[in-house]
Amino acid sequence: MSDNKYAQVKLISKPDNLLKTIYTACRTCYSSDSPLNIYECENAQNEEKMLKLISKVISSGHYSTIEHIQISFAISNISRACSHQLVRHRHMSFSQKSQRYVKEKEQFEYLIPDTIENNPELKAKFEQFMGKISDFYLELTSAGIPAEDARSVLPNAASTSMVASLNLREMIHLANLRLCTRAQKEIRILVKRMCDELIKEEPWLKDYLVPKCERLGYCDEDKSCGRKPAKG
Ligand SMILES: Cc1cc2nc3c(=O)[nH]c(=O)nc-3n(C[C@H](O)[C@H](O)[C@H](O)COP(=O)(O)OP(=O)(O)OC[C@H]3O[C@@H](n4cnc5c(N)ncnc54)[C@H](O)[C@@H]3O)c2cc1C
């Protein structure tokens, strides 16, 4: 499977005043001025000044300031295996295509992992197997079995789509964990595309939307991929 066949991701919602909102939250903690005055003050028109303070505050671990920013993505063409990994992130919100309410009418769509795609013999068997599953699923639904029960035979490879939302703190956490080479390729590509979409709009976030080793300066996994030295 070429990388292009993995997740399709579009950023569909983000506050226009993202930087000013975070700046106001940061300054409010240290100023006798009201949040509204801070929001409307001269400094809040100066991107460089805002970024300097924001960077200092985030670096010191004062993460509540970035929890005010809510971001939403439209995601499609990911496997159920991948969506299951994503929904483990407890500070995210999801609205996922239902296998109860959306009945498959023909061969369900699925994703073939690269390692199988690259082996023609196994790929052919994989596709055959998906065909057999589909036949049985359709046999079940044709016999009157509701989709919510017939879906029991659908595989992890079945494709799905969702709207996923999260705040900026969780977005950074998600990137730190799932851009790491220890994460499975499909979710790594998905999260990279989420990050790229956001960085297109907010380039300053490129320093934060990185694998965790980039922020730590070392690798805290059992084995380092070599990007950063292992923790001594
Ligand atoms: C490479 C990789 C391999 C994995 N392998 C497995 C596996 O084999 N089996 C498996 O079950 N899972 C596995 N996971 C999933 C992993 O255990 C986490 O469930 C998932 O990454 C979500 O991470 P999180 O809990 O840090 O983040 P989130 O759920 O996004 O939460 C963010 C942060 O909020 C805080 N938080 C959230 N909820 C609580 C809480 N209840 N109590 C205290 N603090 C909380 C924590 O600081 C947490 O880091 C794997 C994840 C990765 C990246």
Same domain, 189 and 134: no
Same domain, 36 and 146: no
- Whether 224 is in a domain gets the answer no
- Whether 95 is in a domain gets the answer no
Please count the structural domains in the chain: 2
Indicate whether 156 pLDDT > 70: yes
Indicate whether 121 pLDDT > 50: yes
From the CB of 185, is ligand 1 less than 6 Å away?
no
Name the residue of 88, 191, 192 whose CB sits within 8 Å of the most ligand 1 atoms, as the mutation to test its pocket: 88
Same domain, 180 and 203: yes
Residue 55's domain spans which residues? 3-74+160-216
The residue nearest atom 49 of ligand 1, judged by CA position, is 173
- Whether 231 is in a domain gets the answer no
The residue nearest atom 19 of ligand 1, judged by CA position, is 88
pLDDT of residue 50: 96
- Whether 79 is in a domain gets the answer no
The model's pLDDT over 49-102, given as tens digits with 9 standing for 90+, comes to 999 999 999 989 999 999 999 999 999 999 999 999 999 999 999 999 999 999
- Whether 166 is in a domain gets the answer yes
The model's pLDDT over 185-214, given as tens digits with 9 standing for 90+, comes to 999 999 999 999 999 999 999 999 999 999
Domain boundary among 138, 157, 176: 157
Indicate whether 2 pLDDT > 60: no
**pLDDT band at 223; cut points 50, 70, 90:** confident
Catalytic residue among 27, 80, 151, 178: 178
- The tokens describing 182, both together, are 């220890």
Q: What three-state secondary structure class fits 121?
A: helix
CA–CA distances in Å: residue 102 to residues 99, 129, 131, 143, 172: 5, 22, 19, 17, 33
Dist. CA 202–CA 207, nearest whole Å: 11
Give the angle 120-121-126 at the CA atoms, nearest 5°: 95
- What is the number of the ligand 1 atom nearest to the C-alpha of 174? 30
Mean pLDDT of the region 118-144: 98
- Whether 198 is in a domain gets the answer yes
Helix-strand-coil split of the chain, %, nearest 5: 55, 15, 35
From the CB of 88, is ligand 1 less than 6 Å away?
yes
Contact call for residues 44 and 23 (beta carbons, < 8 A): yes
Same domain, 57 and 164: yes
pLDDT of residue 3: 66
pLDDT, averaged across the chain:
95
- Beta-strand (E) ranges in the chain? 8-13, 70-79, 93-96, 159-167
Task: Find the 160 Cα to ligand 1 centroid distance in Å.
Answer: 22
From the CB of 116, is ligand 1 less than 6 Å away?
no
Contact call for residues 80 and 157 (beta carbons, < 8 A): yes
CA–CA distances in Å: residue 168 to residues 59, 111, 125, 138, 221: 14, 29, 42, 42, 24
Same domain, 115 and 169: no
Counting residues of the chain whose pLDDT is more than 90, the rounded percentage is 94
Same domain, 153 and 166: no
Mean pLDDT of the region 122-143: 98
Cα within 13 Å of Cα(152), Cβ side: 6
Task: Find the 101 Cα to ligand 1 centroid distance in Å.
Answer: 29
Same domain, 149 and 54: no
Contact call for residues 18 and 80 (beta carbons, < 8 A): no
- Whether 18 is in a domain gets the answer yes
**pLDDT band at 1; cut points 50, 70, 90:** very low
pLDDT of residue 179: 98
Ordered DSSP codes for 14-52: --TTHHHHHHHHHHHHH-SS-HHHHHHSGGGG-HHHHHH
The CATH number covering residue 170 comes to: 3.30.1360.170
Mean pLDDT of the region 163-178: 98
Same domain, 150 and 50: no
Same domain, 123 and 63: no
- What is the number of the ligand 1 atom nearest to the C-alpha of 182? 1
Whole-prediction pTM value? 0.95
- What is the number of the ligand 1 atom nearest to the C-alpha of 177? 53
From the CB of 182, is ligand 1 less than 6 Å away?
yes
Dist. CA 55–CA 9, nearest whole Å: 27
pLDDT of residue 5: 79
- What is the number of the ligand 1 atom nearest to the C-alpha of 221? 1
Catalytic residue check, 178: yes
